[in-house]
A and B are shown apart, each in its own frame.
Chain A
Amino acid sequence: MHHTSPFGFREISHTADWELEVWAPDLESLLEHAVRGMYHLTHLELAPQPGLTRKLEIQFSEPETLLIDFLTELIYLTESEKIGFDGFNLQIQGDRLIAILSGSKIESLAKEIKAATYHNLEVREYKDGLVANIVFDV
């Protein structure tokens, strides 16, 4: 694995849907960059003002379920409240994620995601941290 940055995402070729490879030094950062990657795929643009914050708490038993639950929550907020985030204060305390997200209303969104799937999902360790491949149904 040759990533030039310690964290980030890239799109992987997929015939029908979207596949995203996300890597980061730790799980909190992996969650953040998975969201940033998802927003990138949908061409999501946030309105400059006014800002808003949202607190989420998610209980989890394994990183894969946490990753999908977190993305699912943000897909829901994108569709139902038309809000997105660019500030991520994420803390994992035992089996709980506490996320304080800051962002704003969505100004534009070009594409729709139906769901983040578990397809071949595995949060893997590598020498610089964690990596996961997420397939989105579109």
Chain B
Amino acid sequence: MVSLADLKKINRYEWEIPKSYRSDMRVPVRIFATRQLLEQIKGDKSLEQAVNAATLPGLVDRVVVMPDVHQGYGFPIGGVAATQLPHGIISPGAIGYDINCGVRLLGSQIEYEAVKNNLPGLADTLNRLCPSGVGKKGHLRLKIVELEKVCRTGSRWALNQGYATEADLRRTEEGGQLEGADPTRVSKRAKDRGRSQLGTLGAGNHFIEVGIVDQVFHPQAAQVMGLIEGNLTVMIHCGSRGFGHQICTDYVRDFQSAVNRYSIKLPDRELVCAPLDSPEGEAYLAAMRCAANYAFANRQVLAHYARMAFEEELAGKVSNWHLHQVYDIAHNMGKIESHKIGGRDVDVCVHRKGATRAFGPGFQELPEEYRQLGQPVLVPGSMGTASWVLVGTEESMMRSFGSTCHGAGRTMSRSKAKKSIWGEDLRKELQSKGIQIRAGSMAGLAEEAPQAYKDVDAVVETVQNAGIASKVARLRPVAVIKG
């Protein structure tokens, strides 16, 4: 168990578990947290999992832990690790089963005050048009050849089918299409699962949230993003569904023997990995990119359905009911990037699991309008609390592999939440605060109660004060659709 005495304080917002803490660590662990958040983090096994992650072969510089970190399986949720090309490893478990789980934010010119009486109807229509819930199939049934196009082209496929605009793609990480995706590396079973789930939200912590821009902190950035105080937004949180889950399952299984072939010793079997330049590593990377593209297309199709819902409910009631894309960003992903480490540029595979890319100003990867501001970062809250829009900073490039937090982060176990919170009571409580709730499962709703999460505002304050992201706007929920 990592104790406070084991940690070296760097400053008020940054701590280190030195490499000397355990003999098998290859790099230290850097934690971005206040003392108060650190106390919460120590409540579960997050830091032990971060120490385990620090044993992966080929790591460079440090393993980074975000203030919203919580215990996962193998690699902590809220962790970032970079491995050097070409011989460093790639680990499916350090990216997660929900490959390219991420967040999309849509903005609008719709003033909340003008439509607040339409919110119950809007919530119903969103719930009807955006398929959600356990094992829910979507409106689409893709032939395998079509699914393989989604694998290769992601959001571009959605554009060709009329579900997107060029502006949507420009304002999506990687343009919504990762190069190097190879559907021949994906199992038949994964493809079968993917055929009927494109354009579905799923269950668990995934949601569609209608919010209001509550407060703007960075007027210039908010203006460029089209975020106006008092206006509605829509946030979509979901990933690659059963398609991505199956790809991760397949490769975690395959890599159980790969680690023996490459004589890799690990403290936890869920961290199984293979060198990036090995046949196994290359195959996983190509398959993972298929799932990433599927997830980009999934959120794009859901955004299309959300636009349909807004049109159906608000056309004729407001002059402009269009939802424009602010940004779409992954928070479970492995990306090949170049970072300055020890004063030189190094090509690395950045594993972000429950962490968001947060590139600072000046990067060619960013759309032109955001290039001088830094990349938008989308931080969803927990149904009853705020969500945040941030931008990446130069500091995040130097200290966290261009990464920052991804949400509030759980603090209460699911079993405790189930015992202490009644879903129907929670729905009524949120409703009394003016938040419309549409949920497929009251038991699932209870597990995702705001009380089960950390204070998202404290998490955001921490990344801002640590310098690894900067506040743009705070959003307040008014309607939440959950599976």
* Chain A residues engaging chain B, CB cutoff 8 angstroms: 11-18, 42-43, 64-65, 68-69, 72, 76, 78-80, 82, 109-112, 114-115, 117-121, 135, 137-138
Tell me the complex Cα distance, A137–B222, Å. 36
Q: Is the CB of A17 within 8 A of B135?
A: no
Q: Does B465 contact A (CB under 8 A)?
A: no
Q: Is the CB of A16 within 8 A of B71?
A: yes
Q: Does B93 contact A (CB under 8 A)?
A: yes
Tell me the complex Cα distance, A111–B178, Å. 31
* 16 A-B interface contacts by CB (under 8 A): A12-B415, A15-B71, A15-B410, A72-B249, A112-B135, A112-B204, A112-B483, A114-B245, A115-B245, A115-B248, A117-B74, A117-B97, A118-B256, A119-B270, A137-B72, A137-B98
Tell me the complex Cα distance, A117–B202, Å. 20
Q: Does B134 contact A (CB under 8 A)?
A: yes
Residues from chain A with a CB closer than 8 A to the CB of B77 are 16
Residues from chain B with a CB closer than 8 A to the CB of A76 are 189, 193, 246
Taking the closest CB of chain A, its distance from the CB of B132, in whole angstroms, is: 11
Q: Is the CB of A112 within 8 A of B70?
A: no
Q: If the complex has contacts A119-B74, A138-B414, are A111 and B269 also in contact, measured as CB distance less than 8 A?
A: no
Q: Indicate which residue in A13, A64, A72, A110 contacts B441 across the interface (CB closer than 8 Å).
A: A110
Taking the closest CB of chain A, its distance from the CB of B81, in whole angstroms, is: 17
Q: Is the CB of B269 within 8 A of A121?
A: yes
* Chain B residues engaging chain A, CB cutoff 8 angstroms: 43-44, 46, 70-74, 77, 93, 96-98, 134-135, 189, 192-193, 202-204, 242, 245-246, 248-249, 252-253, 256, 268-270, 272, 410-416, 441, 443-444, 447, 483
Tell me the complex Cα distance, A68–B410, Å. 26
Q: If the complex has contacts A14-B415, A16-B410, are A111 and B270 also in contact, measured as CB distance less than 8 A?
A: no
Tell me the complex Cα distance, A86–B97, Å. 27
Q: Is the CB of B252 within 8 A of A137?
A: no
Question: 19 extra interchain contacts, Cβ-Cβ under 8 A, other than A43-B443, A119-B269?
Answer: A12-B415, A13-B413, A14-B71, A15-B43, A15-B70, A16-B71, A17-B72, A65-B256, A69-B253, A72-B249, A110-B441, A110-B444, A112-B483, A114-B245, A115-B248, A115-B252, A118-B270, A135-B73, A138-B414
Closest to B412 in A: A15
Residues from chain B with a CB closer than 8 A to the CB of A11 are 415
Tell me the complex Cα distance, A74–B295, Å. 24
Taking the closest CB of chain B, its distance from the CB of A37, in whole angstroms, is: 13
